[in-house]
Every structure is written in structure tokens, then in C-alpha cells.
Structure 1
Amino acid sequence: MGENERGESAPRQVVSFFCANGHEVRPAFSTDAPLPDTWDCPRCGFPAGRAADAPPSAPRNEPYKTHLAYVKERRSDEDGEAILEEALARLRARRGE
């Protein structure tokens, strides 16, 4: 199906985006559409900006943390011991010990 069957296409503009690895991405947008500030680079996945001399920095990847690691960030060892003792006291009281 060609352009004759579909009608006239909307006027477009090609915009260059640059990532931190030096890749250039050139997506086409409608002239009526608002242009985004950043675009994902299809080659490396980093964010790309419109300024070639100042591309957005690469995102910082945080290492995977377990639930226990997050709990240890919020509680000290003394807090953990106190909570454990309180829970054990309730359990012992329920069992009648």
C-alpha cells in the first residue's frame, strides 16, 4: 500500500540525539509534535540528548540488594535484637511458657 492509497503523510522533521558513547540517533517527528529532551539510544541503551557536546550521563546501576540488606540499612543490630526478643516473648506468652 503506497502513499497514494493512504493519503498525504504529515510533514516531518528529523532530530539528532547524541548519547555518552558518541552514537547519533536521528528519529523523525511530526512538525506538530513536541520534541522530547532525551531519547534512548538503540545501540547502547543510554539516554541521548540533543546537544552533541554535552550528552546526558550514563545511568548509574545500583547493585541488587536483598530484602535483608534493605532492612539492615534501616535498623541497627541492637534494634534487630530488641525486635526479635519482643517477638519471641509474644510467642512464648501465646504458648504459655
Structure 2
Amino acid sequence: MADRSLRGMRIGAQSLQSEDGVVFADRAEYTYQCETCGRDTTMVFSTEAEIPETWECRHCGASAVLLVDSKPVEIDRSGEKVARTHWDMLLERRTIPELEELLEERLQYLRARRGQKVGA
């Protein structure tokens, strides 16, 4: 009876697949330098992959820039929108002298409502 018993394997301990006939993708190392702490991070990518210009620094979490020939890559930020403030939008509609004139008119109105003199 001992001859007929089944032997089992531990789940997840060993793989039944072998690496015979498997062709691994070509790989290349790329170095990123952190803008904040100055440390280098080396990443391995497939040679067919599109390499990102920035990567998160492993040490401080800031943005690290790709190094090519020991020089950081120039990142094109021309497509990014710059946030406009309310002041920027106001200056698109009015000039500084017009704004000063409107301010003075409004101050006169508020002073008149409070009963203060205009010149005071």
C-alpha cells in the first residue's frame, strides 16, 4: 500500500514550469538623478520600452530626471498649462490705472454710506 500512495507538493513552493525555450527580452539600465537630494536611481527597462523622462526618487519621493551621457534630459514643459489666478484674469480685462480709479470710487461710496467725509 505504501507503493501506491500519492506524494504531494507544497502549494506555491515550487513551479512546475521550466525556463527551457523561453527567450528573455533585451534589457538596458537607465539612471535617474533626483532634483532634490541629488541621489541616483538606476532602473532596468526593456530595450523596446518607451523610457520615461522622469521617475520617482527611491530615497525622498521627489522627481528624478533621466541622465543621458551624464547630463540631465531637458524636459519639454511647453504643453503644460500654467494656472491663472484671479488677479491674472483681472489684468487681462483692466489696466492698473483703471483698477485704481474703480477702487477710489468704491471707497468713496463706502465712506458715504458710513457717514464719513470724502476727504477724511
Could you say which structure has the higher helix fraction? 1
Whichever of the two has the greater Rg, that structure is 2
Could you say which structure has the higher strand fraction? 2
Calculate the TM-score normalised by the size of structure 1: 0.46
